[in-house]
Homo-oligomer: A and B are copies of this chain.
Amino acid sequence: MENLICPGFMAAGVASGLKKSGGKDLAIIFSKIPAKAAGVFTSNKVKAAPVILDMERIQSGRCQAVIVNSGNANCCTGDKGLDDAKTMARYAASGLGISEDLVLVCSTGVIGEPLPIDKIQQAIPGLIDSLRPEGVYDLARAIMTTDTVPKTISRQGKIDGKTFTVIGVAKGSGMICPDMATMLCFICTDIDADHELLKNLLYNSTQRSFNRITIDGDTSTNDTVIIMANGLSSAVIKGVERIDYFQNLLDDVLIDLAKQIVRDGEGATKFIEIYVKGALSDNDAHKIANTVANSNLVKTALFGEDANWGRIIAAAGRADAPLEEGKINILFDDVLMVKNGMGCGKAVEAEATKVLMKPELRISIDLNMGKGCASVFTCDFSVEYVKINADYRS
């Protein structure tokens, strides 16, 4: 297992009784000194209480701890929900001996049920007692809902001869468009960076990672990505070159976590990149890639390993972006299935079907009109997805 330790950070995860299964459901990240912080939150107009709280608190650019629960989204819970989120932060702050303004809160789980704040209160002392540098893996487990595996990453870099670390933890496997049944991501680093810069870096990486994945086209009320930078490495991000260097590293970290989420998509059996090129703009390419990646007909055909490219071209055709049918080429990995809008015959289809049997593949759609391109990562749509989501709360 990779080394999930970042200097100055500790984490923990325990069971507080929120999950019916009795599994870990309450977690915390703590930085021994207040860290610079930035966040990206759901675009859904219905926002969970902790999201509303965090969006306000993060404006200070500082954060020392994040407390997270799974099993309950604390969403559509009114004034009581907002009070509960604040109370959760206050209990954590008091246990840690820090100001409550420095504590952020995240929740994930069922929408519309009151947060069992008493259970959380009772569990917080034990949670704080179990804080340790290697506790990140427990955190990763405690924030899982329908996830089947924890999602973590660790990277090191060097700036001006100083080694720094970035670790990341994420959860999410349904209601992912992104923005939902919640995608959560926490990044801890000992780099030093200005708050505004950190905000931009995080926004850019989020655009290139979590905003490029889709499992079911649904968008959560609770999605949150938080970065905390405590500066303990003395490596400072300053100047174009260092900024680019760190941006690339952060992109890698977030893209890796985003792909881990897609691989663990509810009921997924395959990981698919939908790559659109030759569009009039990157934005057009993204619209088309997204429409194809969200098409139930495309995704069920992928599950059935059926090289039904007609559904791909039909989905592309209903996207809100220009295309000319007679110019479209479609490849399954390196197999050219469609040339100038027409199929390349049964022999090629047999080759394409072989590609479809692979657990990871790329579908390229070349519009042959311009230079715009974009990739979206998605998974297939299986019988299991329906079963998981028909029975989620029972």
Contacts and interface: CB of A to CB of B under 8 A. Distances in A.
A393 interface: yes
A258 B181 CA distance: 32
B296 A76 contact: no
B386 A297 contact: no
A389 B297 contact: yes
Given A174-B297, A301-B389, A392-B308, A77 B45 contact: no
B394 A113 contact: no
Contacts of A219: 314, 317-318
A381 to B, nearest CB: 6
A31 to B, nearest CB: 32
A180 interface: yes
Given A297-B181, A306-B394, A342-B112, A43 B383 contact: no
B78 A389 contact: no
Interface in A43-94: 43-47, 73, 75-78
B78 A326 contact: yes
A314 B218 contact: yes
Contacts of A75: 310, 314
B386 A308 contact: no
A12 to B, nearest CB: 28
Given A46-B316, A314-B220, A317-B221, A112 B309 contact: yes
Given A43-B318, A112-B310, A341 B393 contact: no
A17 interface: no
A175 interface: yes
Interface string A379-394: 0011101110111111
Contacts of A296: 216-218, 296, 385, 389
Contacts of A314: 44, 46, 75, 111, 175, 180, 218-221
How many copies of this chain?
Answer: 2
A76 B44 contact: no
A183 interface: no
Given A181-B297, A387-B383, A78 B315 contact: no
A154 interface: no
B218 A318 contact: yes
B390 A317 contact: no
B394 A304 contact: yes
Contacts of A181: 297
A322 to B, nearest CB: 7
A342 to B, nearest CB: 5
A254 interface: no
A10 interface: no
A310 B76 contact: yes
A377 interface: no
10 closest A-B pairs by beta carbon, nearest first, are: A111-B310, A304-B390, A46-B317, A300-B389, A219-B318, A44-B317, A112-B343, A45-B317, A112-B310, A216-B296
Given A43-B318, A111-B310, A306-B393, 17 more contacts: A44-B317, A45-B317, A45-B318, A46-B317, A47-B325, A76-B310, A76-B313, A112-B343, A175-B314, A216-B296, A220-B314, A221-B314, A221-B317, A304-B389, A304-B394, A306-B390, A308-B392
17 contacts: A45-B322, A45-B323, A46-B316, A46-B323, A111-B313, A112-B309, A175-B314, A180-B314, A217-B296, A218-B295, A219-B318, A296-B385, A300-B389, A301-B389, A306-B394, A308-B393, A382-B386
Interface of A: 43-47, 73, 75-78, 110-113, 174-175, 177, 179-181, 216-221, 294-297, 300-301, 303-304, 306, 308-311, 313-318, 322-323, 325-326, 338, 340-343, 381-383, 385-387, 389-394
